[in-house]
Amino acid sequence: MSKLGTFTITASSPAGPARCGELLSAHGPLATPAFMPCASRAVVRAVAPEEVAARGLQIMICNAFHLLTHPGEDVIAQRGGLHRFMSWPGLLATDSGGYQVFSLAQPTDITEAGVRVRSPRTGERILLTPERSLQAQNALGGDLIMCFDECTPFPCTPEYADQSLERTLRWAERSRAAHQREDQVLFGVVQGSVYPELRTRSAQATAALDFPAYAIGGVSVGESREQMLKAVEVCLAELPAGKPRYVMGVGTPLDLVDCVARGVDLFDCVLPTRNARHGLLYTWSGVVRLGNARYREDDGPLEAGCPCPACARYSRAYLQYLFRLQEAAAWRLLSLHNLQFYASLIARIREAIPAGKLGELRAQVAEIL
Active-site residues, by number, are 95, 268
H-only helix segments in 58-195: 64-69, 73-78, 82-86, 98-104, 130-140, 158-178
Q: How far, CA to CA in Å, does 228 sit from each of 75, 85, 112, 231, 235?
A: 38, 36, 27, 5, 11
- Number of helices (H), then strands (E), belonging to the chain: the values are 15, 15
Counting beta carbons within 10 angstroms of the beta carbon of residue 285, is it exposed (0 to 12), middle (13 to 18) or buried (19 or more)?
A: exposed
Bridge partners (DSSP) of residue 138 are none
The C-alpha atoms of residue 256 and residue 346 are separated, in whole angstroms, by 9
Instruction: Give yes or no for a contact between 96 and 246, defined as CB atoms under 8 angstroms apart.
Output: no
- DSSP string spanning 40-96? TTSSBTTB-HHHHHHTT--EEEEEHHHHHHTT-HHHHHHTT-HHHHHT--SEEEEE-
Q: Which of 144, 66, 146, 156 lies closest to 104 in space, CA to CA?
A: 66
